[in-house]
Structure 1
Amino acid sequence: MSLPPTELQDAVAPPGPGVLLTRLTGLRREEFARDVWARSALLIRRASDFSDLFCADAVDELISRRGLRTPFLRVAKDGSTLPESAFTSSGGAGATIADQVDDTALWRAFADGATLVLQALHRTWGPVTDFCSGLAAELGHPVQANAYVTPPQNRGFDDHYDVHDVFVLQIAGTKRWIIHEPVHPDPLRDQPWSDRRAAVAEAARGEPHIDTVLAPGDVLYLPRGWLHAARARGEVSIHLTLGV
């Protein structure tokens, strides 16, 4: 649950300018709390070079060499999450892990338009861990991270809202984002978008608040409750979502 701006200002933050100013928004913590936090979506062009945090090679490392498993890996296409059995299999005779990632099945799903979701990167990828820790100390809230790897001209999820604030960091490729204002402001954890599916679908047909293409280095901040959907353009898109 997002704190009011005044409470965010009172959070204990480490010394120095912080990543809000230097990497994400160009705003000091007090400015962000006063003008943006929990109030409105914010788009920042060329905020930073995020190649030190994550990249395509990191995706290959996590999936092909580190044995990333569910639930740290999800696969989604056109608004639906694929069952784990669609991209996992047994390790063979004598193996005790029955749900290892099946590389062939996984990349076949990706080639067919599915988005790979690498979850909880704040626990599995060092640079993201450090970045999230710094942002959490600055905001006074826990921060988690997922990566979304989407093939060209596809999207993983339909229009929806989150029940937490997010920062979207475009890493590679480009992705078109369409943002609408909330149908239910400041939803709590037990008020997911699926409970308001019809209202979300109707609002998504209206005039968007933001209709833009994110390129590498761009950042989008969305308070909880803001509707969004995104589609990759002419190349593979990779973005990080930091959930606050």
Structure 2
Amino acid sequence: MSRPADSGRGDAPAPAVANPHDRPALARVIGDVDTFARTVWGREPLLLRAADPAGFADLLSEASVDELVGRRGLRTPFLRVAKQGDTLANAAFTAPGGLGAGIADQVSDDKLAALFAGGSTIVLQALHRVWPPLIDFCQQLAADLGHPVQANAYVTPPQNQGFDDHYDVHDVFVLQVAGRKRWSIHAPVHPSPLRDQPWTDHREAVRLAAEQEPLIETVLEPGDALYLPRGFLHAATALGGVTVHLTLGIHAWTRYAVAQELVALALAELADDEGARTSLPLGTSLATGELDTDVVAAKLRAAIDTLDPAAVAGRLQARRRDAQRAAPLGPLAQHALAVRLTQSTTLRLREHLDATLVDGVLHARAGRVRVDEVPGDALKRLLAGDVLTAGDLGSDAARTLIEAGLVVAG
């Protein structure tokens, strides 16, 4: 629910410090999950003031930024740098890795320090892949939302605006980590944009809209959170010191994605239709009257009408599995687990596998494995999240599941 222009700190609802809701990551950010789902999601911005004095320091901190930049050997595209709205060339902040590292695009902490001192914004990208606290949090948030999640961090020097007014093609949660940042939010010029409809396609409309009265004008402080549906215009300016905020991007599944799969399946059906494969007239100029659009459209509609919704769901579920990763796995730990396996070894399904059973084959983010040898009751319990023994699953089947990365130590 959007809020009127505001620069105070007590007029927006705050989430409870402890929320027993079964969507823990989402509840931590927005508090009342049911109200959010019913009235806010995909519709309106929502501003939430800090309920926990510790804020989001467990997910990222200023010290975390220094460690990532100075000690983790980041390479592009895990970092980019911007100044006055323009993204700098990679060479401006990268250098060779040094002896034993035959790469030329590692982040240079020396160059980065100079650029930051000169007013450039540091953007740490895909932190859901490289920073352990955010790997875990983003995986849980994606599970809570049912939509893929990515994490970027924006580190802005004092009195600096990182990017001009723009909109994103994904929903975002903004989590203020350190410092204070003024945000200005305006209504969309192109509501609910698709991923291939960037704000630059509406540059002039964005500029004009940004000159109007904002829906929200506020200062975020550590622990504050802001939800923005895709399409809402926004710009942020650091106030008085260094600021760090996390942007959690939610790449929502849309009805357009459903339509894509419907059409893809319908076209596959038409490939078996001789009439659809018939050539256009000899010497065609591809003029309107020669395209038989009414015939083709009728065949396409008929093909869509006969599709099994389960086939559409299966294709989208496969895309969903490819869009996220399962919980981190240690190859050496898995090897040791398989080697020391006994009948009493406890095992559980690896988290965030997005596993489904189809005709005796377990489809998951770790791959596909035939599980005919696993007793039906044991398999049902495993998929429900129960901890089982190798004896419950059958030793050979248990070893196969371990080596495939589908189960881990319980």
TM-score (norm. length: structure 1): 0.90
In structure 1, the residue matched to 2:25 is 19
Change in CA separation of 1:228 and 1:47 when aligned onto 2, cut-off 3 Å? farther
For each residue in 1:103-138, what CA deviation from the matched residue of structure 2 results, as whole angstroms up to 9, or x when unmatched? 221111101111100000000011111111111111
The verdict on how the C-alpha distance between 1:130 and 1:91 changes in structure 2, with shifts beyond 3 A counting, is closer
When structure 1 is superposed on structure 2, of 192-201 and 94-103 the one drifting more is: 94-103
Q: Does 1:147 align with 2:153?
A: yes
3-state SS in 2 of match to 1:167? strand
Residue correspondence of structure 1 range 155-170 to structure 2 within 5 A: 155-170=161-176
Question: RCO (CA 8 Å, sep 6+): is it higher in 1 or 2?
Answer: 1
Specify the alignment match of 1:188 in structure 2. Answer: 194
State how far apart, in whole Å, the 1-side matches of 2:154 and 2:51 are.
19
Instruction: Assess, with a 3 A threshold, how the Cα gap between structure 1 residues 104 and 206 changes in structure 2: closer, same or farther.
Output: same
- Which structure: greater helix fraction? 2
The residue aligned with 2:229 is: 223
Q: Does the C-alpha gap of structure 1 residues 47 and 141 become closer, same or farther in structure 2, counting only changes over 3 Å?
A: farther
In structure 2, what is the equivalent of residue 171 of structure 1? 177
Partner of 1:35: 39
Q: Is residue 26–residue 47 contact of structure 1 (8 Å, CA) maintained in 2? A: no
Q: Secondary structure at the match of 2:58?
A: coil
SS of 1:113 mapped into structure 2: coil
Deviations 1:34-91, CA, capped at 9 Å, x for gaps = 1100110000001442111110111111110111111000001111000001111224
Aligned match for 1:56, one of 55, 62, 72: 62
CA distance in 1, matches of 2:202, 2:45: 21
Counterpart of 2:110 (choices 88, 104, 128) is 104
Equivalences for residues 88-127 of structure 1 within 5 A: 88-91=94-97, 95-127=101-133
* Cα displacement string for residues 159-207 of structure 1 (whole angstroms, at most 9, x for unaligned residues): 0000010000000000000000000001001110011111101100110
In structure 1, what is the equivalent of residue 246 of structure 2?
Answer: 240
Partner Cα separation in structure 2 for residue 20 and residue 234 of structure 1: 30
**Gapped regions of structure 2 (runs ≥ 5):** 1-20, 251-410
Shift in CA distance, 128/92, structure 1 to aligned 2, threshold 3 Å: closer
- Identical-pair percentage: 66
Q: 1:101 to 1:163 in 2, by over 3 A?
A: same
What is the identity, as a one-letter code, of the residue corresponding to 1:132?
A: C
Aligned to 1:85: 91
Which residue identity does 1:141 align to in structure 2? H
Amino acid aligned to 2:150: Q
Q: Rg bigger for which structure?
A: 2
SS in 2 for 1:109: helix
Preserved contact between residue 23 and residue 144 of structure 2 (Cα < 8 Å): no
Letter in 2 for 1:139: L
CA distance in 2, matches of 1:73, 1:220: 23
CA distance, structure 2, for counterparts of residue 186 and residue 84 of structure 1: 31
Q: Report the residue type matching 1:101 in the other structure.
A: V
Query: Contact 2:80 / 2:124 at 8 angstroms: preserved in 1?
Result: yes
Post-superposition offset of 1:95: 4.9
Pick from 135, 143, 148: which aligns with 2:141?
A: 135
Give the TM-score of the pair, scaled to structure 2.
0.54
- CA deviation vs aligned residue, 1:6-32 (integer Å, no higher than 9, x gap): xxxxxxxxx7252222x111112x321
After TM superposition, the structure 1 stretch with the greater mean CA deviation from structure 2, 88-97 or 215-224, is 88-97
**Which one of the candidate residues 189, 202, 219 is aligned to 2:208?**
202
User: Cα distance, 1:93 vs. partner?
Assistant: 6.9
Measured in 2, the distance between the counterparts of 1:240 and 1:146 equals 6
Show the counterpart of 2:374.
none
Q: Distance in 2 between matches of 1:18 and 1:91?
A: 40
Distance 1:47 1:162, change over 3 A: farther
